[in-house]
Amino acid sequence: MKVTVELYGPPRDKVGAREMNVDLPLRASLRQLAAELARLHPRLVDEVVRGDGSSLVEPYSFYIEGLGFVTDLKTELKDGARIALMFASAGG
């Protein structure tokens, strides 16, 4: 399946693109997406994605269109999903 990852802030700078399409196995989870992002873009490792690809480094988070911010990395993705990878900071 294919998902689209929208990139904001430092992840956008490191990847050099506003968004990217990522191929994943059917019923892949956010954890699998994090690991694939680390594999595809090593510049994200340790600054955005943990070195083992298991999760995001705080304060980064995933925002899934239609669901909002998602912290459970077991969340299953759907083909065609749009997922934002962004810096989550407290508003003022």
Amino acid at 91: G
**Overall residue count recorded for the chain in this entry:** 92
* Beta strand residue intervals within 1-92, DSSP E: 2-7, 19-23, 60-64, 68-70, 82-87
Beta bridge partners of 4: 21, 82
**Residue 25 CB neighbour total at 10 angstroms:** 10
- Does pTM top 0.85 for this prediction? yes
Scanning the structure block, which residue is given the tokens 């600054």?
47
Tens digit of pLDDT for each residue in 23-60? Answer: 999 999 999 999 999 999 999 999 999 988 889 999 99
What domains does the chain contain, in order, with CATH numbers?
2-87 (3.10.20.30)
